[in-house]
């Protein structure tokens, strides 16, 4: 059975450029594949991407850049998905750099993290994230996260102000 035909799959096909910061993680690489399957143009950044993530991303033709330098983040995407627990640079440092960048300052950012810390939520909220999602434990949770990405993209494209209901831990 194809993933798009699985019971409970509610994420319709769509388009848009999503950039995953931390794409080489055990959860993020498969999420990148699921998003690409739904019609998104997916790119990413990470450090030291190893198999099986690197193998999966390469087999899907998903391009990623080594590191989190600003020149690796061009062109600006329609939505950035940021793993808060990045190696070396840490997600908060990368989020601050995104908000200080002329090109990326207005890009909606969704945090996906294994941390359910109220302190992490508060720090990211002050930096203007659209949503803070605790990494889901199952496929349905990841599909719900995909719906959140879609809703934020749609609101952004429509010129609607994006409410920050996810400035709370899901």
Residue 84 lies in a domain: yes
Q: In what order do the strands lie in the sheet with 79-83?
A: 63-66, 41-46, 17-21, 79-83, 109-113, 131-134, 166-169
Residue 6 lies in a domain: no
Q: What is the CATH classification number for the domain harbouring 152?
A: 3.40.50.2300
Residue 3 lies in a domain: no
Residue 74 lies in a domain: yes
pLDDT at res. 3: 34
pLDDT at res. 14: 59
CA 126 to chain centre: 18
Look at phi and psi of residue 81 and say left if phi exceeds 0, alpha if psi is from -120 to 50, else beta: beta
Residue 68 lies in a domain: yes
pLDDT at res. 69: 78
Q: Strand, coil or helix: what is 137? A: coil
What is the distance between the alpha carbons of residues 66 and 86, in angstroms, rounded to a whole number?
A: 13
What is the distance between the alpha carbons of residues 24 and 45, in angstroms, rounded to a whole number?
A: 8
* Averaged pLDDT, groups of 10, the chain, 170 residues long: 34 71 89 88 92 94 88 83 84 90 86 87 90 79 73 66 43
Give me the number of domains the chain comprises: 1
The pTM of the full predicted model, rounded to 2 decimals, is 0.78
Domain that holds residue 119: 14-169
């Amino acid at each position: 059975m194809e993933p798009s035909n699985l019971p409970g799959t509610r994420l319709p096909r769509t388009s848009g450029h999503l950039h995953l910061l931390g794409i080489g993680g055990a959860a993020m690489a498969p999420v990148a594949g699921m998003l690409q399957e739904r019609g998104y143009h997916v790119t990413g950044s990470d450090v030291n991407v190893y198999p099986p993530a690197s193998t999966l991303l390469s087999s899907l033709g998903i391009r990623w850049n080594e590191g989190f330098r600003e020149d690796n983040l061009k062109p600006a995407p329609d939505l950035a998905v940021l793993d808060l627990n990045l190696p070396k640079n840490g997600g908060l440092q990368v989020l601050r750099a995104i908000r200080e960048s002329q090109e990326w300052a207005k890009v909606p950012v969704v945090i996906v993290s294994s941390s359910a810390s109220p302190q992490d939520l508060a720090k990211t909220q002050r930096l203007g994230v659209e949503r803070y999602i605790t990494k889901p434990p199952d496929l349905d949770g990841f599909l719900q996260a995909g719906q959140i990405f879609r809703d934020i993209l749609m609101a952004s494209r429509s010129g609607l102000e994006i409410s920050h209901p996810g400035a709370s831990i899901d």
